[in-house]
Amino acid sequence: MHIHNIGETNSVLNTFIAEIRDNKIQKDSMRFRRNIERIGEVLSYEMSKIMPYKSEVITTPLGTKIIQVIDDQIVLCSILRAGLPFHQGLLNYFDNAENAFISAYRKMKPNGDFDIRVEYFASPSLQDKTLILADPMLATGQSLVATYQSLLSHGVPKELHVFSVIGSTDGIDYIKKHLPEDTHLWIATIDETLNDHGYIIPGLGDAGDLAFGDKL
């Protein structure tokens, strides 16, 4: 797996990360969603540097100019619901991409373990396309792997790129073992620890609740 930890380099990205972590600032749900969206934009820009390009002749009012433009078929897939503002950030940059959405959540067991349940799933064909799988929180990695396995029913992508805002080292190790070897992970920051319930520490809390309100 190719890991691109963008937060390791000083940039404005780290300001957005600081604000989504701050338990005072993150109470403003509109600002939280916008920061998640902006992080998605930064990661998209970084990924764009390694994508295939082609020459295209552009006609202006005064002449023509040859410009290098992206030459790829992209499908953006986000895991509901926390992935929605993140997805919008990606779509702001890859505006010609096709889109897929899937629900994957933890179904808790009485002993404290959990299964990953996938219920809602809408996707175009993925065959021989570049798949971007977006989930803001890469905790255990199990939901990402379950999502990818479900997506294969719609074709095998030529490339897989995983986008996350915050990941744990355990989660990254898990997806390394279960996703294709040439997968690219684009991530804003990495935390070392998971608690007993599989949540990232220090993390930021529940991204879905912070973006859209508490759930039952």
**What's the mean pLDDT in 199-212?**
93
pLDDT reported for residue 114? 57
Give the integer Cα–Cα distance in Å for 37 and 49: 19
CB under 8 Å to 16, separation ≥6 — which residues? 35, 38, 39, 42, 188
Structural domain contains residue 168: yes
The answer to whether residues 186 and 2 touch, using CB atoms and an 8 Å cutoff, is no
Dump pLDDT digits (tens) for 143-176.
899 899 989 999 999 999 999 999 999 999 999 9
How many CA atoms within 13 Å lie on the side-chain side of 31?
14
- Whether 150 is covered by a domain: the verdict is yes
Higher pLDDT, 119 or 16: 16
Mean pLDDT across the stretch 178-195?
A: 96
Confidence band for 196, pLDDT divided at 50, 70 and 90: confident
Domain membership flag for residue 6: yes
Which residue range is the domain that position 181 belongs to? 2-52+70-212
Residue 210 pLDDT: 93
pTM given for the model: 0.91
> Does residue 24 lie within any of the structural domains?
yes
Q: What is the pLDDT of residues 89-130, one digit of tens each?
A: 999 999 999 999 998 766 656 665 656 677 788 999 999 999
Band of residue 21 on the pLDDT scale cut at 50, 70, 90: very high
Instruction: Provide the number of structural domains found in the chain.
Output: 1
Task: Give the separation between CA 87 and CA 143, rounded to whole angstroms.
Answer: 17
Phi, psi at residue 95, to the nearest 5°? -75, -15
What was the pLDDT predicted at 115? Answer: 62
Instruction: Determine which of 55-64, 168-177, 181-190, 194-203 has the lowest per-residue pLDDT on average.
Output: 194-203
User: Highest-confidence range of 45-54, 97-106, 118-127, 188-197, by mean pLDDT?
Assistant: 45-54
**What pLDDT, on the 0 to 100 scale, is given for residue 215?**
77
153 CB contacts (<8 Å, ≥6 apart)?
none
The confidence score (pLDDT) of residue 107 equals 61
For residue 80, give the CATH number of its domain. Answer: 3.40.50.2020
List the structure tokens of 25: 């600032």
Give the residue from 85, 59, 86, 54 showing the smallest Cα distance to 72: 54
Pairing mode of beta strands 2-5, 74-80? unpaired
pLDDT of res. 116: 63
With respect to residue 59, please indicate whether it lies within any of the assigned structural domains: no
Q: What is the DSSP letter of 110?
A: T
DSSP for residue 176: H
